[in-house]
Amino acid sequence: MWEIKIKWTGEVQFVASDERGHSVVMDVPVEKGGGGTGFKPSDLLPIALGGCSAVDVVRILQKKRQDLKKLEVSVSWEQEQEFPQYFKKIHLSYRIVGKGIKKETVERAIQLSEEKYCSVGVTLKPKAEISSSYVIDELE
């Protein structure tokens, strides 16, 4: 079992830390009464989805011996307006840069991440509609 400690540091700012010394600052935007000094706690969920899937896609493309040089994931989302403001739609847009990257391999890597490997996505799927798109930028 994993454990993270979250400490209140004043106003509505919190710092989450793990046993390995990593930390994340969370706060509320200024317009909602916070200091705007960190991520909104709810924003960490789509960030986690993007990061989880990025790890999967990189690992799969490397395993398939694709000459991957760069991967970026942009995450956009839509939340319900009424509380509890659950995530309705989340879209991941991948930008893959490399030499000779095969379209079919990218599609399969994204599919495997979405359906099998990304624990964050599998957890969100019953409630949120998760979609994806990608572009491959070929290096010469």
Looking at the structure, tell me whether residues 64 and 10 fall in a common domain: no
**What tens-digit pLDDT sequence spans the chain (140 residues)?**
889 999 999 999 999 999 999 999 999 999 999 999 999 999 999 999 999 999 999 999 999 999 999 999 999 999 999 999 999 999 999 999 999 999 999 999 999 999 999 999 999 999 999 999 999 999 97
Looking at the structure, tell me whether residues 11 and 47 fall in a common domain: no
Residue 134, domain extent = 42-138
Looking at the structure, tell me whether residues 66 and 82 fall in a common domain: yes
pLDDT at 8: 96
pLDDT at 138: 95
pLDDT at 1: 84
Looking at the structure, tell me whether residues 131 and 88 fall in a common domain: yes
Q: How many domains, the chain? A: 2
Give pTM, 2 decimals. Answer: 0.92
Looking at the structure, tell me whether residues 115 and 87 fall in a common domain: yes
The CATH number that applies at residue 132 is 3.30.300.20
Looking at the structure, tell me whether residues 56 and 80 fall in a common domain: yes
pLDDT at 58: 98
Looking at the structure, tell me whether residues 20 and 53 fall in a common domain: no
Are 23 and 13 in contact by the 8 Å Cβ rule? The answer is no
Looking at the structure, tell me whether residues 83 and 94 fall in a common domain: yes
Looking at the structure, tell me whether residues 16 and 79 fall in a common domain: no
pLDDT at 2: 86
pLDDT at 140: 79
Looking at the structure, tell me whether residues 57 and 109 fall in a common domain: yes
Looking at the structure, tell me whether residues 48 and 33 fall in a common domain: no
pLDDT at 10: 92
Q: Are strands 5-10 and 13-17 parallel, antiparallel or unpaired?
A: antiparallel
